[in-house]
Amino acid sequence: MSALPDPPGTDHDALVGTLLQLVRSEPTSTRASLTERSGMGRTIVTQRVNELIETGLLAETGRGKSTGGRAPREVRFRREAACVVGVEVGASSIDVALTDLAGRPLGCHEQSWDVARGPDATLDQIDVIIDRLRTAHQPRAVPLVGIGVGLPGPVEFATGTPVAPPIMPGWDGYPVRDHLAARHGVGVWVDNDVNVMALGELRAGTAVGVRDFLYVKVGTGIGAGLVSDGRLHRGTGGCAGDIGHIAVVGGAPQPCRCGKRGCLEALAGGAALARDALACAENGSSPYLSARLGDDRPALMASDVAAGARSGDHTCADLLKQAGEQIGRTLAGLINFFNPSLVVIGGGVALSGDLLLASIRHSVYALSLPLATRTLRVEMSALSSQAGMVGAAFTAIDELLAPRQLPGWTHRLCRDPLPQAATA
Ligand SMILES: [Zn+2]
């Protein structure tokens, strides 16, 4: 690292962070383009770029276009210099991706798993999956440098422990981060699933380049991740965005899984749709759902409602429309408050068809303030079912690339020049 002091008003870490963000967002840059985009002085930018080349995070690739005189040297982010693992634990699944430092999957594994089996069995299974993925897909000489994890419940980010998660019996206070760090010998960051999905959309999905947006997951439950001014907003206790438990007018009489009544989730989440589907099957109002129900199939799922709607069953379509309307109604209030330019809708229930999205959109545009919706987009998740594991990988990558973290791990980066195909 350079021994020269930075000029007054220039924070070393802030500039390194800015430069890393800039080089990650473009295939190649030049020192001149980075000077222009960062708004900092040419000398200091050149010094910091040279430092980052020394660490192995950046590489010079060749010469760019000349604007008169000698063509400038181009630099790029060496995403192939290390690997990270992203783990998404769902209520009924484990998805794991081994990725490069740009969050691009080198190998993935997805399987069914009941999170209620508890932390010991679940983390053992995750260890096995990580070992298998590394054996099959981790390039030789390229180190694993971090693991990111998304869990389906509230997580204290600073310690990597779940806090009173409603659907994860036995996980309350379990040291998830410490278990994985001890087992794999790398830095580990744990967050709730919706936050990691929001981060995935910000870095590699629908929200790339968007400063203020909401990611809304409609799965068994409903939750949201907030990105404000380009950063994930976790809140004081880490539960920002827990919108499933906002009370709604005319809420369901049944208690929510949080123990309260009237929550949005108890009215419009996947579990609520499954409950209402069973009632419609039993009272005969939906021929499709009645036919799905049988001795060998005593319960229905939200996906049955989506399939019914696609097949033309009016009751199924109405159930989805009503759920979308309730979600949109709650979102309209949040949009008036937060003024995002984008709402990304994801999660298993949302991804199962367009009807829910259409209904959410209709309700949002009808009920939000005109100024808040003037430039507002409501879009489906581009990362789809990969949002969790890719987002979890970015949870680790973003932390690793924080300038204060760099000295702790960049000495491990692979320095080998890799074949052209690997850097394309
Ligand atoms: Zn609730």
pLDDT band of 124, cuts 50, 70, 90: very high
pLDDT of 324 > 80? The answer is: yes
- pLDDT tens figures, 9-64: 458 899 999 999 999 988 889 999 999 999 989 999 999 999 999 999 999 987 76
Rounded distance, CA 217 to CA 195, Å? 10
CA of 48 to the centre of ligand 1 (A): 49
CA of 409 to the centre of ligand 1 (A): 41
CA of 267 to the centre of ligand 1 (A): 10
DSSP state of 405: G
- Residue percentage of the chain with pLDDT more than 70: 95
Give the model's pLDDT for residue 207.
96
For residues 174 and 160, the answer to whether their CB atoms sit within 8 Å is no
For residues 191 and 176, the answer to whether their CB atoms sit within 8 Å is no
- The secondary element (H helix, E strand) that includes residue 214 is strand 213-218
For residues 396 and 405, the answer to whether their CB atoms sit within 8 Å is no
- Please compute the mean of the pLDDT values over residues 243-248 and round it to a whole number: 92
CA of 256 to the centre of ligand 1 (A): 4
13: tokens are: 């870490």
CA of 275 to the centre of ligand 1 (A): 15
Place of tokens 């380049």: 209
CA of 353 to the centre of ligand 1 (A): 25
Give the model's pLDDT for residue 417.
76
- pLDDT tens figures, 275-322: 999 999 999 999 999 999 887 888 999 999 999 999 999 999 999 999
Helix axes 176-184, 119-137, angle to 10 degrees: 40
pLDDT of 135 > 80? The answer is: yes
CA of 320 to the centre of ligand 1 (A): 20
CA of 251 to the centre of ligand 1 (A): 11
pLDDT of 421 > 80? The answer is: no
Tally the C-alpha atoms within 13 A of residue 248's C-alpha that lie toward its C-beta.
Answer: 27
CA of 40 to the centre of ligand 1 (A): 48
Give the model's pLDDT for residue 70.
75
* Burial state string for 98-133 with b = 16 or more CB within 10 A and e = fewer than 16: bbbbebebbbbbbeebebeeebeebbebbeebbeeb
CA of 165 to the centre of ligand 1 (A): 12
CA of 393 to the centre of ligand 1 (A): 29
Residue 294: which region, alpha, beta or left (left: phi > 0; alpha: psi -120 to 50)?
beta
* Least-confidence region, from 6-20, 351-365, 379-393: 6-20
Higher model confidence: residue 387 or residue 65?
387
Chain centre to alpha carbon of residue 239: 15
Give the model's pLDDT for residue 400.
97
pLDDT band of 6, cuts 50, 70, 90: low
pLDDT of 2 > 70? The answer is: no
DSSP state of 69: S
Sequence-ordered alpha helix ranges (H) in 56-192: 119-137, 176-184
- pLDDT tens figures, 208-231: 999 999 999 999 889 999 999 999
331: tokens are: 């979102």
**To the nearest whole number, what is the mean pLDDT of the chain?**
91
pLDDT of 68 > 90? The answer is: no
Give the model's pLDDT for residue 419.
53
DSSP secondary structure string for all residues of 79-110: GGG-EEEEEEE-SSEEEEEEEETT--EEEEEE
CA of 290 to the centre of ligand 1 (A): 29
DSSP secondary structure string for all residues of 136-202: HHPPTTPPEEEEEEEESS-EETTTTEE-S-TT-TT-TT--HHHHHHHHH-SEEEEEEHHHHHHHHHH
Please give the domain boundaries of the chain with CATH numbers for all domains: 12-77 (1.10.10.10), 81-201+386-423 (3.30.420.40), 209-381 (3.30.420.40)
- pLDDT tens figures, 152-195: 989 999 999 999 888 899 999 999 999 999 999 999 999 999 99
pLDDT of 237 > 90? The answer is: no
pLDDT of 3 > 60? The answer is: no
CA of 261 to the centre of ligand 1 (A): 7
Give the model's pLDDT for residue 423.
45
DSSP state of 296: T
CA of 410 to the centre of ligand 1 (A): 43
pLDDT band of 348, cuts 50, 70, 90: confident
Give the model's pLDDT for residue 418.
64
DSSP secondary structure string for all residues of 222-278: EEEEEEETTEEE--SSS-TT-GGGSB-TT--SSBPTTS-BSBHHHHHSHHHHHHHHH
For residues 227 and 217, the answer to whether their CB atoms sit within 8 Å is no
192's CB contacts (< 8 A; 6+ apart) are 150, 151, 152, 153, 154, 155, 223, 238
Local structure of 344: helix, strand or coil:
strand
